[in-house]
Amino acid sequence: MIDKEAIRRFALEVGADLCGFGDLNRFEGVPRAMDPRFVFPDARSLICLAFRMPRGVQRGIEEGTQFYQYPSLAYGGINETYAPSILYEVGKFIEDQGYEAMIYRNTGARGSVSDMDGTPGNTLSPEEQIVYQQTGSRTAHHRTVQTTRAVSPKQEAPDLQFHFRLAAAACGLGEIGLSKMLLTPEFGPMQRFAFIFTDAPIEPDPMYSGKPLCLKCKACIRECPGHCLSETETITVTVGGKQMTWAKLDEWRCYVYYTYSGRNQDPFVPTEVFDKHRDGKLRIYEHPEVQANEQEVLNVYSTLDPYFPSQVGYNMAKCAGCIGACVNMLERGGCLKGKFKEPFRKGLRRWNIDR
Ligand code: SF4
Ligand code: SF4
């Protein structure tokens, strides 16, 4: 039997911030196209590594002065550089003991089902649509969503992507909050995940059963500029016998708001652009009743494309509503293990552009 605590110690030593072990049977009942057991059918254990985001990467967004440190360092940097290098070390550590380690980084790509509505095969992100329409070329993401097929009737289509947050919960690291973010006692919503499937038999960690991590304060709902998280509708799932409930998220709406966030939250788009397009291509900002869908979001993206600073290759989260709100509330509630000398937010509310 492989020494689970030795793996955990090693993972933390080489740079992961949390390490948890899950039983793949905890995924019983998830939709086939998101069932991680198809990835490595002989795997007996799942290991989750969590990588904390320094609180300071949110500072510029919180102040309204600097927006690309978060997508660059805490999103792209962890996904692309930091987590893969640590996965690689931990994978070798496991394989040196005679077990296979399928290391699984966050790809940032699209899976075989839509990110937006779970339907198989299509629904491109707006920026991919724009690239496709303007250049006729296919981005790396198109590869999977449009042409993928299962290699045999028993298999699921590549590239199967499972639900990272639920998988982290299945490895005992925390629970999903009302915001749909995975909350841990150590860092609240401020971490990203990567995984290892292995055929090593490892005793799973228990599901998180400590004090509830979500305060149900609804600050994430209140502070979302796009009203993307429902006040009234919730989704409940059961993983490893543990029920988790979050507010229903309108993914298309979130897509447009976290990238552009609208008249009062986006300092990159001039006022006259919003004025000119009132009731036109930007109507989604002015009329809450407008249903967000691929076409509406594409209207926004194609109109605001010149104001889309994507120097870092990842969407810049200009809203930061749900994460900032949650960090603020969890700190005020004394819920996080890590303590800072100064609070994340000094005043009651975040900035708002008056125009
Ligand atoms: S990421 Fe931004 S737009 Fe999306 S739910 Fe959170 S606050 Fe709202
Ligand atoms: S902001 Fe409040 S309700 Fe939302 S996830 Fe955080 S603790 Fe839960």
Instruction: Convert the pLDDT of each residue in 46-81 to its tens digit.
Output: 999 999 999 999 999 899 998 888 888 898 899 989
* Model confidence pLDDT, tens digit, residues 91-107: 999 999 999 999 999 87
Residue 213 Cβ contacting ligand 2 at under 6 Å: no
* Domain contains 209: no
* Domain contains 227: no
Local confidence band at 313 (pLDDT 50, 70, 90 cut-offs) = low
- The one-letter amino acid at 293: N
What pLDDT sits at residue 111? 66
Which of 165, 176, 179 is the pocket-test mutation for ligand 2 (most atoms within 8 Å of CB)?
179
What pLDDT sits at residue 123? 59
Domain that holds residue 144: 4-202
Residue 49 Cβ contacting ligand 2 at under 6 Å: no
Give residue ranges with CB within 6 A of ligand 1: 224, 226, 228-229, 254, 257-258, 319, 321-322
Which of 187, 222, 326, 345 is the pocket-test mutation for ligand 2 (most atoms within 8 Å of CB)?
326
pLDDT of 258 higher than 60: yes
The stretch 226-238 carries a mean pLDDT of 94
Which atom of ligand 1 lies closest to the CA of 321?
A: 7
What is the β-pairing status of strands 45-52 and 191-198? antiparallel
* Model confidence pLDDT, tens digit, residues 139-189: 555 545 556 788 999 998 887 888 999 999 999 999 999 999 999 999 999
Beta bridge pairs of residue 101: 198
What pLDDT sits at residue 319? 73
> Do 193 and 301 share a domain, yes or no?
no
> Do 287 and 190 share a domain, yes or no?
no
* Domain contains 178: yes
> Do 17 and 143 share a domain, yes or no?
yes
Residue 160 Cβ contacting ligand 2 at under 6 Å: no
Burial of 150 (0-12, 13-18, 19+ CB in 10 A): middle
pLDDT of 119 higher than 70: no
d(CA 352, CA 277): 21
Q: From the CA atom positions of the chain, what is the Rg in Å?
A: 21
Phi, psi for residue 353 in degrees, rounded to 5: -80, 125
* Domain contains 165: yes
> Do 135 and 275 share a domain, yes or no?
no
Q: 3-state SS of 101-115? A: EEEECCCCCCCCECC
* Domain contains 214: no
The count of domains in the chain is 2
Supply the angle between the helices 4-14 and 83-95 in degrees, to the nearest 10.
Answer: 150
Ligand 2 centroid from CA 181, angstroms: 9
> Do 192 and 285 share a domain, yes or no?
no
> Do 91 and 196 share a domain, yes or no?
yes
- Tokens 């490893």, located at residue: 240
Residue 326 Cβ contacting ligand 2 at under 6 Å: yes
pTM for the predicted model, two decimal places: 0.92
Supply the angle between the helices 251-259 and 294-304 in degrees, to the nearest 10.
Answer: 10
Q: Contact 274/285 with Cβ under 8 angstroms?
A: yes
* Domain contains 45: yes
d(CA 343, CA 328): 8
